[in-house]
Each structure stands twice: as structure tokens, then as C-alpha cells.
Homo-oligomer: A and B are copies of this chain.
Amino acid sequence: MTPRADPLTVEVVDLIGTVVARYHEEYEHAASQHSLTGAQARVLGLLSVEPLPMRKIAQRLKCEPSNITGIVDRLESRGLVERRPDPADRRVKLAAPTAEGRRTAERLRGSLHFAREPLSHLTVTERTLLKELLQRMLGTAPE
């Protein structure tokens, strides 16, 4: 069932590797334009969706909770994020973006060219096809 290292599979894997590399370059570049590191940009992006306890951020980033302390420290010292108490559990600190943090996150999303430029080479039909193939590949297809 598992495809061997046939030429087609190798070719597709190489292409995915290229996509991964390009995606990362663009992401890091967009982050640095706002004087953010990749990790800081990822955390800010997460929090701009919804405030999260420190623990949850670590789970989303798949890293140790102790690392989040420093990343949020740096975002907080720049006024992009703040720590709030959780009324329900006084052990928990909720990290939430400030107004400026939300603006930065918004501009960050806008400068992610990857969202537009490479996909502009595809028609709507092709994008739909790509979406379905990726869903099936990731095992997240609706059906």
C-alpha cells in the first residue's frame, strides 16, 4: 500500500520540500519586516485569533511551556501582548494581543505573499483540485 521510492513519489516529495522551503522564507521575511522572529510571529498570530493560556500556546507550537515565557516576555516588552489573569483559575495566565498587537498581526497576514502570489498561477478550478488533493493527502478530507 505504501508507495515505494518510485520516481513519481520522489518528484512530488521534492516539490513539497520546495513549497516548504519557500513558505518558510516568506514567513521569516514577513516576520522580520515587523522586527519579529518566526516564533514571535507565530505566537502573535495564534493570540490574534483568541487569547490563550501559556500552556496552550506551548501545545500549539509543540514546544516546552518554559520556552513560551521568554517569547511572550519579548512580545510583552514591545507592547504587542499582555498577560491577564484567568478569573476561573488563578494559576493560569492568559496571553492576549494589545490593540497594537492586533494591528501588527493583521499587517503580518497581509504581507504573507505566499497567500497570493504562488496561487495566482492557478485557476479557480485548479485551486479547488489542489485543495481536494491536499485534504485527501492529509487525511482531512470531509468524506
Contact = CB atoms under 8 A, between A and B. Distances in A.
Number of copies: 2
A12 B130 CA distance: 7
A14 to B, nearest CB: 10
B118 A2 contact: no
Interface residues of A, number: 46
A138 B20 contact: no
A131 interface: yes
Contacts of A99: none
A124 interface: yes
B2 A120 contact: yes
Interface of A: 1-5, 8-13, 15-20, 22-25, 62, 114-122, 124, 126-131, 133-140
